[in-house]
Amino acid sequence: MKKISLKKLIVSMFMMVSIFTAGAVGITQNVNTADAENISSDYIWKSARNIKTYIDPNLTTAQKKAAKIATSQWHDAVPGLSFTNTDDESSANIVYSSNPAPSNKSGNTHISLIKYSDDSNWYLSKATVETNLTDPSEYSQSMQRTYNHETGHALGLNDTYDKSEKELTVMYGVKDGTTVNVSLPQKQDIETLNNMYGF
Ligand SMILES: [Zn+2]
């Protein structure tokens, strides 16, 4: 019979406690809100292995498809991040909203932060993705790029405006309508998330 090491047992018990704690209600201390486009610190989900997503029924069929594909592409890129869809907006972590992003942006993500009583770090508690697309009814590569980019923010990634990184990350910040070919999460994005989450 194989013996389970005490260390392994303690680690798995600790993980169970962590998962329970992350999902528990009533231990939050403070909630800050910030616009993900304007923050420079990296925040992560404590519940990275069970991120609950809500897709606003008022989005177009094409937008719903793009939101679903975005989460599956991020999961494929970083398997430690897992997503479950929920019909309950209030308990969702990432909300794909039908509210429009500001007119000068194709997408925008608002985030809320949370602090748990047993942990001094701030974590993501809610991310709301808004878009402002030229044709929301037609599925396109640029629509997918917008959803992938905004979902990157919802996972804790920041924009980069360094032109040399244009092809290296889906987080390149498109200003002035520049054409960008990168729509999938790139190696740089994957490495950053793996480092941030410790996968
Ligand atoms: Zn951005």
Spacing, Cα 93 to ligand 1 middle (Å): 18
Q: Ligand 1 center to residue 120 CA distance, Å?
A: 27
> What is the reported pTM?
0.82
Give the distance (Å) from ligand 1 centre to CA of residue 158: 7
Q: Is 119 helix (H, G, I), strand (E, B) or coil?
A: coil
Ranked by mean pLDDT, the top range of 12-21, 34-43, 122-131, 174-183 is 122-131
Q: Give the rounded distance of the alpha carbon of 197 from its chain centre.
A: 12
Continuous segment of H or E residues that includes residue 8: helix 6-23
Token couple for 34: 């910030």
Each residue of 106-157: pLDDT tens digit? Answer: 899 988 888 887 788 889 999 999 999 999 999 999 999 999 999 999 999 9
Domain locations in the chain?
27-197
Q: Which of 123, 175, 137, 171 is nearest to 58 (CA)?
A: 137
- For ligand 1, the distance from its centroid to the CA atom of residue 28, given in whole angstroms, is 28
**CATH architecture designation of domain 27-197:** 3-Layer(aba) Sandwich (3.40)
- pLDDT tens string 36-87: 656 656 799 999 999 999 999 999 999 999 999 999 999 999 999 999 999 9
Three-class SS state of 156: coil
- How many angstroms separate the CA atoms of 153 and 127, rounded? 8
Tokens linked to 46: 């404590």
E strands, the chain, where? 28-35, 51-55, 83-85, 94-100, 107-116, 122-131
> What residues have their beta carbon closer than 5 A to ion ligand 1?
159
Paired tokens of 39: 């923050």
Q: Rounded to the nearest whole angstrom, what is the distance from the C-alpha of residue 25 to the centroid of ligand 1?
A: 30
Distance from residue 175's CA to the centre of ligand 1 (Å): 10
User: Residue 97 in contact with residue 53, Cβ under 8 Å?
Assistant: no
Distance 57 CA to ligand 1 centre (A): 24
Q: Give the closest residue to 193 by CA, choosing from 169, 161, 166, 165.
A: 169
Query: Ligand 1 centre from 103 Cα, in Å?
Result: 14
Give 54's strand partners: 95
